[in-house]
Chain A
Amino acid sequence: MTNTEGTVVRRRDGDVEQHEAHNKTSDVTFRPPLDLYDFEDRYEAVFDVPGTTTDDIDVTVHDGVLTVEARVAPRYPGNITPMLGEFGVGDFRRQVRLGEDIDTESITAEYRDGVLMLTLPKRAERRPRKVEVRGG
């Protein structure tokens, strides 16, 4: 799996992020951190997308590319000057190219504590199978 990058803009902690025109509730789009784990029968992809809701998250697969988008509503009163402003609040978007061993029809998603967890089952026929060797 590799990242598919669009135009790159600067993000809150100095990292770069992907930025493309889409339906947004805010001006800036952030690239959420990602953990990717390989299990025997599945992959798990975990994204930090705090401050959104289940209804505001879109997970799509198109041409072998998984796209995660999350809309984040502004949280601050507009007329306030912060005493300390270390991070920005905005939508999240990240794309991941999927391997051919993933059954894209069976991907499931769960959102809890600001974390989106995707379970990506591997195709049964592509899974390595242990072949039993019998003695004669």
Chain B
Amino acid sequence: MLQTIMPSALLRGTMLDQFARNVDRLVEAAVGPVLTSAPAAWPALNVWRDGDEIFVEAEIPGFRLEDIEIMASGDSLTLRGRRESAVPEGATPLRVERSITQFERTVQLPVEIDPDAVEARLTDGVLRVTLPLAESARPKRVQIQSVGTGGRKVLSGGDKKK
């Protein structure tokens, strides 16, 4: 039930990616930051950061692993999917609310990620993509050095034993 897309299956950004980014920039110029979402975009996305990883989650019921393609570049993620028409042969549709058979969505990431380390899982129609931050984007511990006279007083010469 749990399937993993290995990083090797993920391709680096392409021209299409670049195109999507340009579109995002236009959108951004017109309506504000892209991360505030477009109303009709499908699938809906939840994006959050936990420690040194960004998570992107989407509900794409009815799409199988082989139906989807995920592209990651340094600062964007594109999800694509295509499946057969949902309407079975020989049937009269009485109600069709699950009509989406293909999608493409690009999300601009607020920090640099490592495209080679991206992983994705599709579990019961829920797609979760894990994007580790690029080394350059990770918080660094700063070494503190004490300088001058404010440091610890060094005791010397005490308790010497004969």
Chain A residues in contact with chain B, CB under 8 A? 1, 12-14, 33-40, 43-44, 46, 48-53, 75-77, 80-87, 111, 113-115
Contact = CB atoms under 8 A, between A and B. Distances in A.
B93 to A, nearest CB: 6
A39 B91 contact: yes
Interface residues of B, number: 38
Given A33-B98, A51-B59, A114-B124, A38 B91 contact: yes
Given A35-B97, A115-B61, A75 B126 contact: yes
Interface stretch (B16-24, B82-90, B154-162): B82-90
B44 interface: yes
B90 A84 contact: no
Contacts of A113: 61-64, 124-125
Contacts of B91: 37-39, 44
A14 B42 CA distance: 13
Contacts of A48: 59, 61-62, 98, 125
Contacts of B96: 35-36
B37 interface: yes
Contact of B47 (A14, A43, A51, A83): A83
A30 to B, nearest CB: 10
Given A46-B86, A50-B60, A35 B98 contact: yes
A49 B61 contact: yes
Given A13-B44, A48-B98, A52-B124, A84 B107 contact: yes
B75 interface: no
B5 interface: no
Nearest to B110: A83
Given A114-B62, A115-B125, A38 B48 contact: no
10 contacts: A1-B94, A34-B95, A35-B95, A36-B94, A37-B91, A51-B124, A51-B126, A87-B44, A114-B62, A114-B125
Contacts of A34: 95, 97-98
Contacts of B39: 14
Given A37-B88, A37-B93, A86-B37, 19 more contacts: A14-B39, A33-B98, A35-B93, A36-B96, A37-B92, A38-B91, A38-B94, A44-B91, A48-B61, A48-B98, A49-B61, A51-B124, A80-B50, A84-B37, A84-B107, A86-B44, A86-B45, A87-B44, A114-B60
